[in-house]
Amino acid sequence: MSEIKEQIFSVSEITKSIKFILESTFEKISIEGEISNFKAHVSGHWYFNLKDEGAVINCTMWKGVNNYVFFTPADGMKIIVTGRITVYPPRGSYQLDVRSMKPAGVGELQAAFERLKQKLSEEGLFDEKYKKELPSFPKKIGLITASDGAAVKDMISVAERRFPLVELLVVPTKVQGAGAAENIAENIHKLNLLNDIDVIILARGGGSIEDLWAFNEEIVARAIFKSKIPVISGVGHEVDFTIADFVADFRAPTPSVAMELATPDIEELKSFIKDSYSLSCDIIERTLENYRSELEEEISSYAFRYPLEKIRKYSQMVDLNTYKIVQKIDKRILIASNRIAYLSKSIEMHDIEKSLQKGFALIKQDSKFIPRKISFNINKPATITFYDGKIELK
């Protein structure tokens, strides 16, 4: 009886067989699970795990393919992915090559919305103290919206009706689907680089939560918060709320209302000017009437009835004051003259020449005058000055 020989595979051979079986069997498969360890690589590829309560599978979604995902995946989010199973022989592991991704129902998007709302609220992005005031008369408004949508037409119509003086700058923007959030954030940044934009309006028409999801992305929320220009959010219909609504400086239920918030009503301005004109005319009339009454009262007073008496009275006052001034001046001149005479007399009394004329003499020794006998040195030369000359003593 011949012995059956056992077949032995190499590692490469068995891995190759497993690869063939798995990849051919699960060429296209949809899996539902929860995201964990999500990582967006600098290369643009996404790496994450898909798990449930019993197992985990590694997943990869390549750059270019993930551009068609309209939301940003996050850990804890339940999703449905479609792709194929691949085997990586060097590690002996299998993974899911993801070709498409969507949330596992509207409830999952709503849960992601609430998580981000809670996070940003705790950081203070919704606080009233950061809200900026709108200018009363904007010169230029930047519109971040789809250039071919109904929203931009409605806003232009409202601006032309309410305030035709304002200039509108339409920035064509992707407002739905993959890449929309990045495009919105980029355009907010671009408008902030300009120096003549007074207000920014984010706008798009209504839609499902999936359609409006770009305005629920964190990148958009932070771009709005960083904007130095006031931002009005006019996204969807009145019942629709997005993260952008909470961060924006003002929230409008529709794009049309957003434009109404940003612009004054020219008819109201005309009415205001008309009312102000009428009020000003009334005030001027009343003021003139008051001055007219005061003027008539002054004209009928004693001074206007007897003008010469008034003039004579003030003329007498001028004469009296002039006499008083002249008297004071004369008195000051007399005092000054007496003072001058007294000083002149004192100077004359101390004149040396007159003292010499009286018989006095000046004795000088060592270039000094000798006032006393005790100061005179008989052994030194001296000079005696008389009125009529000098004598040198040697």
- Which regions in the chain score pLDDT beneath 70? 1-5, 106, 301-308
According to the model, what pLDDT value does residue 140 have? 95
Cα–Cα dist 341/129, whole Å: 85
Cα–Cα dist 263/166, whole Å: 8
Chain-wide mean pLDDT for the chain?
A: 86
72-82, pLDDT tens digit by residue?
Answer: 888 888 888 89
According to the model, what pLDDT value does residue 285 have? 86
Q: Tell how strand 231-235 and strand 199-204 pair up.
A: parallel
* Amino acid found at 344: S
According to the model, what pLDDT value does residue 323 have? 86
According to the model, what pLDDT value does residue 156 have? 93
According to the model, what pLDDT value does residue 202 have? 95
Which CATH architecture is the domain 112-129+138-264 placed in?
3-Layer(aba) Sandwich (3.40)
Compute φ and ψ for 259, nearest 5 degrees.
-70, -35
Task: List the Cα angle 313/315/319 in 5-degree steps.
Answer: 120
According to the model, what pLDDT value does residue 291 have? 87
154-203, pLDDT tens digit by residue?
Answer: 999 999 999 999 999 999 999 988 789 999 999 999 999 999 999 999 99
| The CATH number of domain 11-104, selected from 3.40.630.30, 2.40.50.140, 1.10.260.40, 1.10.1740.10 | 2.40.50.140
- Residue positions counted in the chain: 394
317-370, pLDDT tens digit by residue?
Answer: 888 888 889 889 988 898 888 888 888 777 777 777 777 777 778 888 887 888
Written as one string, the DSSP assignment of 162-188 is: H-TTSEEEEEE---SSTTHHHHHHHHH
According to the model, what pLDDT value does residue 2 have? 56
Q: Tell how strand 78-88 and strand 56-61 pair up.
A: unpaired
Cα–Cα dist 187/183, whole Å: 6
Token digits for 75? 């850990």
According to the model, what pLDDT value does residue 251 have? 94
